[in-house]
Chains A and B, each alone.
Chain A
């Protein structure tokens, strides 16, 4: 009897959790989708209703064609920025984290303090632009990549350092005894072992960078440098918005991060917990 009751309670809790998850995660998405297929007039009401008239293809074509296919260029730019920045974050984050964890020295405290400062102190916009202008990096895609790396590096160093402390030192020593040079120890022994945390980092950072709005807005002006989040401004303004196209754009912009998340979901959680065991 009591066994059956616990089974029933369990099922009910499960159903409740599912219901809550539906409300929190699925409903907003459904709202975006339904608004995205409506006509301009119907979408302006912003109601959660079934569309009277389906305009999925029409809206899709309108959004893609807007301002001379700006969205496609934006996809390209965002992809380049995201891929470039994430690749550098992984390599540099792992290297710094490895050295910080494996080689205790007097400098470590200072370096660690710098990493924490990078995590906590908010960056100022105008001086950063001055630096970029001085280096001739302003308004360039690679300048934007470096900005994203600078902003994300502290987090990835912390993540890698935590994870590397769970890898036994014996592995390094065994490799050294077998005659491996330091760079071989890192690239051939340690880096492959970092796969779980790397996946976490790739997913978290690529979504953050892909979805970044303010940084490209300030650091990457120019018509050819548009990123996906900035295309939303084609349809939204203070006094007049085209909600059907705006939501269609949101839908299109949401898809790539969503795919990343769906495919790597399990690894993210695994990597997060793996890094969290030992600090």
Chain B
């Protein structure tokens, strides 16, 4: 549309001045080779920083490729928007969106272009979460992996002489001491309902340690939260911390921002959260960045303590894009060591990147340094359930709020969640449901 309008304008100019006409014709000839890629990303500041840095670097190296970056909302509104745009063929040339079960919900085999040929630098553990049902890889990783676990305030730990817990019992013993010292042991923020799911979702490493086949059995309708003691432990943990009175007084209305503030400034000792909270701490409490540490959610066995990992979002090329080749070339750049270094530079290191040979700088914040050992030894990490199974019940956050507020007992909640999941599995048309 735009170029057409420009051309009509140019036509007028040509009539006006013959001398100008030649110059414009040269410009128009050059404009033919230029490509403008439209990019849709979510509005997180980290995402914007990374994409701005990447596109600027790429345009500097390839002056004929320019970018138009558009922000979209996050959450449920964003999901609707992305699906609407894909369905109407208006999703632009590059799309940033979640990997894992949300990616599967996009109908990737039809809506997204095959990116299998630009995966040479991508670490293998990422590929399954952007693989369409037909086995082709449709995305490249964008940003760093996140861990789900528990942030703790190092000052409180030092003051009370506590050590990082390896088992749930040690964790609860720490909590008891913190409570005895008159401090809030665990911050919970059910005002943002999604934040209530952490104890259940971040417990998945422990579930898998106890029942290695849980994810597959769960997808095949053979394993259930209510009948698997290991899986139910997550719900039980939520109930336990509430019953013991370890929570902050305003846990029912507090928001994610409050939780971050509490653990960063030492109002609370623990806050179960994903590691992206670091960005928030950096922005709002820059002086406290190194007061905050991080550990994986402890399970029953100290020997089997590991981290549940959330894969970063990915970049995709919609199948309807008219500039697929140019878009793919850019994504290959993003998935290279060079692209990875640009992302680290833009945002600082918030977690490990999923690009081969992309090392983090030495001076990472304390909570990231706490997280790295899990990635460095084999078998200390497990992807969260939502990356292994397409099933995630829509009502989990409401159920975990109920359990965490003492409204519903853990066993009943697990059974209710199993029912909730059933609806989604049927919607996805999975066999055996």
| A interface residues (Cβ-Cβ under 8 A, vs B) | 40-41, 44-46, 125-126, 129-130, 133, 138-140, 217-218, 221-223, 233-242
A129 with B84: in contact, given A45-B261, A221-B70 (CB under 8 Å)? yes
Q: Are B90 and A239 in contact (CB under 8 A)?
A: no
Q: Could you say which of B68, B69, B74, B90 contacts A138, with CB atoms under 8 Å apart?
A: B90
Q: Looking at A41, A45, A133, A239, which has the most chain B CB atoms within 10 Å of its CB?
A: A239
- How far is A139 from B47 in the complex, measured between Cα atoms in Å? 25
Cα distance, A126 to B261, chains bound together (Å): 41
Q: Which of B275-283, B333-341, B406-414 contacts A (4 or more CB under 8 A)?
A: B275-283
Chain B nearest CB from A111 CB (Å) reads 31
Quick one: which of B71-87 are within 8 Å of A by CB? 71-75, 77, 81, 84-85, 87
Determine if A40 and B283 form an interchain contact, defined as CB atoms under 8 angstroms apart. Answer: yes
- B279 surroundings in chain A (CB, below 8 A): 239-240
CB-defined contacts of B88 to chain A, threshold 8 Å:
126, 129-130, 133, 138
Please list 16 pairs of residues, one from A and one from B, whose beta carbons are closer than 8 Å in the complex, sorted by A's number.
A40-B284, A41-B285, A44-B283, A126-B88, A129-B90, A221-B92, A222-B70, A223-B68, A233-B43, A238-B74, A239-B44, A239-B279, A239-B280, A240-B44, A240-B276, A241-B257
- A222–B38 Cα distance when bound, in Å, is 8
B 85-114 contacts with A by CB, 8 A? 85, 87-90, 92
Task: Kindly list chain A residues whose C-beta atoms are within 8 Å of the C-beta of B23.
Answer: none
CA distance in complex: A130, B280 (Å): 40
Contacts of B68 in A (CB 8 A): 222-223
**Contact residues of B with A, CB < 8 Å?**
1, 38, 42-47, 68-75, 77, 81, 84-85, 87-90, 92, 255-257, 261, 276-277, 279-280, 283-285
- Residues in B whose Cβ lies below 8 Å from that of A44: 257, 261, 283-284
Write the chain A residue with the least CB distance to B195: A239
Q: What are the 7 closest A-B residue pairs judged by CB atoms, nearest first?
A: A238-B74, A237-B43, A237-B44, A44-B284, A129-B88, A233-B43, A223-B68
Looking across the interface, which residue of chain B has its beta carbon closest to that of A39? B284
Q: Give complex CA distance A210, B84 in Å.
A: 23
Across-interface contacts of B70 in A (CB, < 8 A): 221-223
User: Whole-angstrom distance between the alpha carbons of A217 and B72 in the complex?
Assistant: 8
- When distances are taken between beta carbons in the complex, the residues of chain A under 8 Å from B81 are 217-218
**CB closest residue in chain A, given B45:** A240
Q: Is the CB of B46 within 8 A of A240?
A: yes
**B38 smallest CB distance to A (angstroms):** 8
- Of listed B46, B70, B92, B285, residue having the most chain A CB within 10 A: B70
Q: Decide: B45 and A242 in contact? CB cutoff 8 A.
A: yes
Considering the complex, give the chain B residue whose CB is closest to the CB of A243: B257
- Choose one: A45, A140, A221; the contact of B90 (CB below 8 Å): A221
Residues of B with C-beta under 8 A to A242: 45, 283
Residues of A within 8 A of B69 (CB): 223
Alpha-carbon distance A45/B1, docked complex (angstroms): 45
Partner of A240, one of B77, B84, B90, B280: B280
- The CA of A236 and the CA of B73, in the complex, are separated in Å by 8
Check A234–B43 contact: CB distance below 8 A: yes
Q: Are B283 and A240 in contact (CB under 8 A)?
A: yes
The one of A130, A139, A238 that contacts B75, using a Cβ cutoff of 8 Å? A238
- Chain B proximity of A79: nearest CB distance (Å): 20
Q: Which residue of the partner chain A has the closest CB to B257?
A: A44
Q: Is the CB of B43 within 8 A of A126?
A: no
Complex: chain A residue closest to B67, CB-CB: A223
Inside 8 A of A240's CB, which chain B residues have their CB? 44-46, 276, 279-280, 283
> In this complex, what residue of B is CB-closest to A41?
B284
CB of B261 within 8 A of CB of A233, answer no
CB distance from B43 to the nearest CB of A (A): 4
Contact A237 B45 (CB under 8 A): yes
Q: Which residues of A contact B44 (CB under 8 A)?
A: 237-240
Cα distance A9–B33 in the bound complex, in angstroms:
79
Most B CB atoms within 10 A — which of A40, A129, A233?
A: A233
Question: Which of B71, B90, B255, B284 is close to A139, meaning CB atoms less than 8 Å apart?
Answer: B90
Residues of B close to A45: CB separation below 8 A: 261
Q: A52 to B200, alpha carbons, bound, how many Å? A: 40
Closest residue of chain B to A46 (Cβ to Cβ) is B257
Q: How far is the CB of B236 from chain A (nearest CB, A)?
A: 27
Cα separation A44 to B88 with both chains bound (whole Å): 38
Chain A residue at minimal CB-CB distance from B68: A223
Indicate if the CB atoms of B43 and A236 lie closer than 8 Å: yes
* Complex-state Cα separation, A233 to B42, whole angstroms: 9
Residues of A within 8 A of B75 (CB): 238
How many angstroms between the C-alpha atoms of A40 and B286 in the bound complex? Answer: 11
**In the docked arrangement, what's the CA distance between A239 and B43, Å?**
10
Contact in complex: B74, A237 (CB < 8 Å): yes
Hey, which chain A residues are within 8 Å of B256, CB to CB? 239
Identify which of B71, B74, B255 gathers the most chain A CB atoms within 10 Å of its CB.
Answer: B71
Complex Cα spacing A150 to B74, Å? 28
B43 CB contacts on chain A under 8 angstroms? 233-237
CA distance A45 to B89 in the complex (A): 41
Q: Which residue of A lies closest to B282 (CB)?
A: A240
Measured CB to CB, the closest approach of chain B to A213, in angstroms, equals: 9
* Residues of chain B lying within 8 A (CB to CB) of residue A125: 84
Which residues does chain B contribute within 8 Å of A221, judged by CB atoms? 70, 85, 90, 92
Closest to A45 in B: B261
Report the nearest A residue to B44, measured CB to CB. Answer: A237
Residues of A within 8 A of B46 (CB): 240
Are B72 and A218 closer than 8 Å at their CB atoms? no
| Complex contacts, A41 vs chain B, CB 8 Å | 284-285
CA of A242 to CA of B257, assembled, Å: 11
Instruction: Give bound CA distance, A130 to B257, whole Å.
Output: 40
CA distance A223 to B43 in the complex (A): 13
A235 and B45 alpha carbons, distance in the complex (Å) = 8
Which residues in A have their C-beta under 8 angstroms from that of B285? 41
Using CB atoms, name the residue of chain B closest to A128: B88
Residues of A within 8 A of B85 (CB): 221
CB distance from B2 to the nearest CB of A (A): 8
Q: Closest residue to B74 on the A side, CB-wise?
A: A238
> In whole angstroms, what is the CA distance A242 to B45 when docked?
9
Give A43 to B364 CA distance when docked, in angstroms. 27
Residues in B with CB closer than 8 Å to A138 are 88, 90
A138 to B88, CA, bound (A): 11
- Residues on B with beta carbons closer than 8 Å to the beta carbon of A126: 84, 87-88
Q: Which residue from chain A places its CB closest to the CB of B52 in the assembled complex?
A: A67
